[in-house]
């Protein structure tokens, strides 16, 4: 494991957490009504940052139903395509929330990023979002000429999006479909009702993963959960794509990232684990105020350049 530690990380995180804590609380709404209001809220550029000017963004619709935004780096040469999946607990989030990260990864990694708005629970519980990811990977393969892709494909995501990326790789390995060449899992949520050290230390630090949450019940099916919903419960991770796994040091999900990277390595899958010390969950959503987010964008870009080198002239 590589630990990235900078003097500013703790102070910046403390300031963001204090800012959120100081926001006035209104009356406690119905959870679903609160979710609908949250979905309508636009990201604050002072926190989320802006689109990287070194990309050419374009909106498109996949299979006539799924909204996506494509970020092309400033090059006419065909490039690998990275499918990216936002976080939001499987019930919220939007590609607009992470535009600084997705465009920044496209520029830093010299890759084409397809940022997807997959279907959300409770309207569309498991496995709707997972099937959207599977179908979009197939669409990327079939439309690589339209995208200016070179045939190499990666998948990545944040939190719930990281779970969907990992689940889609398991689905492709076991059932056919497009198995990406690389997976990038940022502070992924890979189990349910985890009783880990990081849960005990950090639950409620920006994020809660405590059992019995309304949001969790909206997405997960009843009964025994399949590994594609909770990838840490897979019997084997052998045969999956090489992985870059990012963790946050002050995150209840920190140990999901640590444990999954260890499981991948134990099953013969190359996995690089990078942990950002003193940093909270979702730090890639706030690169304007969290230097850990800016560092991670560059790190992911560098990782992709190494994984997908330029073809020889």
**Would residue 253 count as lying in a domain?**
yes
Answer whether 0.95 is exceeded by the pTM. yes
Whole-number mean pLDDT of the chain? Answer: 96
- DSSP secondary-structure letter at 108? H
Is 102 within 8 Å of 157 (Cβ atoms)? no
* 159 belongs to the catalytic site: yes
Q: Which of 72, 86, 281, 295 is catalytic?
A: 281
Spatial neighbors of 195 by CB under 8 A, at least 6 apart, are: none
pLDDT band at residue 308 under the 50/70/90 scheme: very high
Question: Quick check: helix, strand or coil at residue 70?
Answer: strand
Which residue range is the domain that position 279 belongs to? 2-19+45-307
Question: Does 63 fall in a domain?
Answer: yes
Q: Grade residue 313 by pLDDT with cuts at 50, 70 and 90.
A: low
The Cα-based distances of 87 to 53, 57, 92 in angstroms read 23, 20, 7
| Radius of gyration for the chain, computed over Cα atoms and rounded to the nearest angstrom | 18
Mean pLDDT of 292-309: 98
**From 159, 198, 215, 216, the catalytic residue:** 159
Compute the average pLDDT of residues 159-186: 97
Q: Hey, is 9 helix, strand or coil?
A: helix
Q: What is the pLDDT of residue 176?
A: 84
pLDDT confidence bin for 310, thresholds 50/70/90: confident
C-alpha 171/C-alpha 231 separation (Å) is 10
Q: What is the pLDDT of residue 283?
A: 98
Q: Kindly name the residue from 94, 251, 255, 303 that is annotated as catalytic.
A: 251
194 burial via Cβ count (<10 Å: 0-12, 13-18, 19+): buried
Omega before 127 within 30 of 0, i.e. cis: yes
- Distances in Å between the Cα of 10 and the Cα atoms of 5, 120, 249, 285 are 9, 32, 10, 16
Does 37 map to a domain? Answer: no
How far does CA 106 lie from the centroid of its chain? 15
Pair of tokens at residue 168: 């889609």
Domain-embedded: residue 39: no
On whether the CB atoms of residues 286 and 16 are closer than 8 A, the answer is: yes
Q: How far apart are the first and last CA of the chain?
A: 35
Q: Are the CB atoms for 81 and 141 separated by under 8 Å?
A: no
The answer to whether residue 220 is domain-embedded is yes
- Cα–Cα distances (Å) from 130 to 41, 60, 121, 165, in that order, read 25, 20, 12, 8
H or E segment to which residue 68 belongs: strand 66-73
> Which CATH number does the domain housing residue 152 bear?
3.40.50.1820
pLDDT in tens, 71-97: 999 999 999 999 999 999 999 999 999
218 in Cβ contact with 124 (< 8 Å): no
- In angstroms, rounded to a whole number, what is the distance separating the alpha carbons of residues 93 and 233? 25
Tens of pLDDT, residue by residue over 231-275, are: 999 999 999 999 999 999 999 999 999 999 999 999 999 999 999
- CA dist 254 and 50 (Å) reads 27
Cα separation, 89 vs 184, whole angstroms: 18
The closest alpha carbon to 44, from 249, 222, 289, 294, belongs to 289
Domain membership of residue 33 (yes or no) is no
Stretch 17-29: mean pLDDT, rounded?
A: 86
Is residue 26 a part of any domain in this protein?
no
28 falls within a domain? no
pLDDT tens digits, one per residue of 185-197: 999 999 999 999 9
Q: Does position 291 have pLDDT exceeding 80, yes or no? A: yes
If one counts the domains in the chain, the total is 1
Residue 26 scores a pLDDT above 80: no
pLDDT for 229 equals: 98
């Amino acid at each position: 494991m590589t630990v990235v530690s900078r003097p500013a990380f703790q102070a910046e995180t403390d300031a963001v957490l204090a800012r959120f804590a100081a926001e006035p609380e209104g009356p406690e709404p119905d959870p679903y009504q609160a979710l609908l209001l949250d979905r309508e809220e636009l990201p604050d550029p002072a926190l989320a940052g802006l689109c990287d000017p070194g990309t050419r963004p374009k909106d498109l619709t996949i299979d006539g139903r799924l909204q996506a935004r494509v970020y092309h780096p400033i090059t006419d040469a065909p490039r690998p395509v990275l499918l990216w999946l936002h976080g939001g607990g499987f019930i919220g989030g939007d590609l607009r929330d992470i535009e600084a990260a997705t465009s920044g990864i496209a520029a830093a990694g010299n890759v084409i990023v397809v940022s997807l708005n997959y279907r959300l629970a409770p309207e569309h519980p498991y496995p709707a979002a997972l099937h959207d990811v599977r179908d979009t990977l197939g669409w990327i393969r079939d439309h690589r000429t339209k995208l200016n892709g070179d045939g190499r494909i990666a998948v990545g995501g944040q939190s719930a999006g990281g779970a969907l990326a990992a689940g889609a790789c398991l689905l492709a390995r076991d059932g056919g479909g497009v198995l990406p060449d690389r997976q990038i899992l940022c502070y992924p949520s890979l189990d349910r009702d985890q009783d880990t050290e990081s849960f005990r230390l950090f639950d409620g630090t920006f994020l809660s993963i405590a059992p019995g949450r309304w949001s969790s019940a909206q997405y997960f099916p009843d009964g025994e959960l399949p590994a594609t919903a909770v990838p840490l419960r897979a019997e084997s991770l052998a045969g999956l794509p090489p992985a870059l796994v990012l963790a946050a040091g002050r995150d209840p999900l920190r140990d999901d990232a640590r444990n999954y990277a260890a499981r991948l390595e134990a099953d013969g899958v190359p996995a690089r684990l990078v942990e950002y010390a003193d940093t909270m969950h979702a730090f890639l959503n706030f690169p304007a105020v969290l230097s850990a987010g800016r560092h991670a964008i560059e790190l992911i870009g560098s990782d992709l350049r190494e994984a997908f080198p330029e073809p020889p002239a």
